[in-house]
Amino acid sequence: MACGLSSILNLTCTSQKQLFTDEEWNQLATRFTSIAIRYAPVDKKLMTNWALACGFSRSDGNAFRAMNHLTLTRTANFGNTSLYQKLMIMENILLTVQNESFLLSTLNEGTLSQLKKISEVDIFFKLWSPIINGLINVNKRLRLKSGDTVNLVSTAAKKQLYSEAQQVIGFKIDIRIVYDFEDEEIDLCAGEISKGTLNNAKVWHDDSKLIREGKDILNQLYDLCGNRENNELYSWSIQISGLQCVVSTQHLCSNGLYVSVPRFDFVFPKNLSSLDELDNMYKGLLTAIEDMERRSYLVENFLKQNQEQEQSNLTNVLGFNQFNDEDTSKVEEDVYSYKRPSWYTPPREERYKSVIPVHLFGRKRSATTISSISLSNPTTANNTVPDEYGFYECDGKYKNIEFPDLIFDTHPHQHE
């Protein structure tokens, strides 16, 4: 429901599949998953040494010789800072698999009572943070935030939905990957963490919340970068469910349609014999983070090109008026009209005060917008484009694009 009320088609899970036939769903999935994300190139020397470390671990029944091998290799390549840091990431993963057997086995096949002994903080900081933060620190272009922080864009959008509420706070996000431009944080990725399959309700809730967080990020990017091709702007999301991780992207694909597309699905190695599973995990996370870095350059270049115009009102550009009818100056109107607000839970969880987004089905479009979007141009007998008030001539009469049932003998603004 939350995704539907936020104009989002969620291909990450099958909760919306029942709304379509199997053929329709497959066509949608094929169409949108074809939006390409190229895998980042992987250092051959790194993966060769990792394969050797995996072999040592399986042969020895522990990770000590493997870690020593990676340490010696890293020391021998101290001049190659990128390889040095990536080898350190591999060492940390080996150390985790060696030392965190209780956590890994509990997440893999533990009972409900056993799962109560661990926390989401354990899952993130002991398992996932070393590799995610390690990859971010290779180039130090981005920054990882954790611990229920709030993207101000979601707070601003929620305030517009619940304008009479006294205390409004946007989504509390488990992890965020941000780019710092001067004093401003620009979100590029949101992440949620749960214990896994024994808490399906939490996983489903996180999925719906996470995709809307990604949509907030995407709306912010459009506010920052203006009218760009849709494939240039998208946001990232990371959903961690115990040992499993799903990485997705969110796109504004057409007028009023956001789509969440699954990109990578992988698992954290649960023991020494499954260390080979790191290959997919590493490639997926590396690709996502390097792509986020490219998004950050796109944002930086645009802001620097427009620094004089943007400097005085950067706060507003970052989303505080993104659904204000009169604030259309920051982006071209055609893409601006594509955007839709999101549905948010009412403040203080008072469900009976829930409000449907005002512009869920779009805005009133001006003649400029109508004439610039070919699919929206009306076909009239005289092939006449509506004027700025929406009036056009049809079979000797005048109609209005917003009120098609009203027919006028003459143009209402024409002097008789």
Question: Taking the alpha carbons of 41, 268, 150, 206 in that order, is the dihedral positive or negative?
Answer: positive
Q: What is the pLDDT of residue 127?
A: 96
102-126 b/e with 16+ CB inside 10 Å = b? ebbebbeebeeeebeebeeebbbee
Q: In the chain, pLDDT over 90 holds for what percent of residues?
A: 39
Neighbouring CB atoms inside 10 A of 78's CB total 9
Range with the lowest mean pLDDT among 15-19, 67-71, 231-235?
Answer: 15-19
In angstroms, the first-to-last Cα distance of the chain is: 53
CB 32 within 8 A of CB 251: yes
User: Given pLDDT bands bounded at 50, 70 and 90, which one contains residue 192?
Assistant: very high
Angle between helices 64-76 and 44-60 (to 10 degrees): 160
**What average pLDDT does this structure show over 325-329?**
46
d(CA 328, CA 34): 31
Q: How far apart are CA 45 and CA 7, in angstroms?
A: 45
Residue 201 has pLDDT above 80, yes or no: no
**Nearest partner of 245 among 260, 263, 266, judged by Cα:** 266
pLDDT-derived band at 225 (thresholds 50, 70, 90) equals: confident
Beta strands in 127-275 (DSSP E): 143-150, 172-181, 184-194, 235-241, 244-254, 257-267
- The DSSP string of 252-281 is EEETTEEEEEEEEEEE---SGGGGGGHHHH
| Per-residue pLDDT reduced to its tens digit, 372-406 | 333 333 333 443 566 656 667 887 787 776 666 67
> How many C-beta neighbours within 10 Å does residue 362 have?
13
Going from the C-alpha of 4 to that of each of 7, 249, 314, 343, the distances in angstroms are: 5, 17, 31, 9
pLDDT at 377: 36
Query: How many residues in total does the chain contain?
Result: 416
Q: Is the pLDDT of residue 219 over 60?
A: yes
Residue 268 contacts residue 245 (beta carbons within 8 Å):
yes
CA distance to 88, 119, 260, 413, per residue, from 35 (Å): 33, 36, 11, 47
**Phi/psi at 269 (nearest 5 deg)?**
-55, 130
Whether residue 214 has pLDDT greater than 70: yes
| Predicted structure pTM score | 0.76
Query: Which is more confident, 225 or 15?
Result: 225
What distances in angstroms separate CA 323 from CA 235, 260, 340, 360, 371, one per listed residue?
A: 19, 21, 8, 11, 22
**CB-CB contact of 30 with 22 (8 Å):** no
CB atoms under 10 Å from CB of 212, counted, come to 26
pLDDT in tens, 14-56: 667 777 788 877 777 777 766 778 888 999 999 999 999 999 9
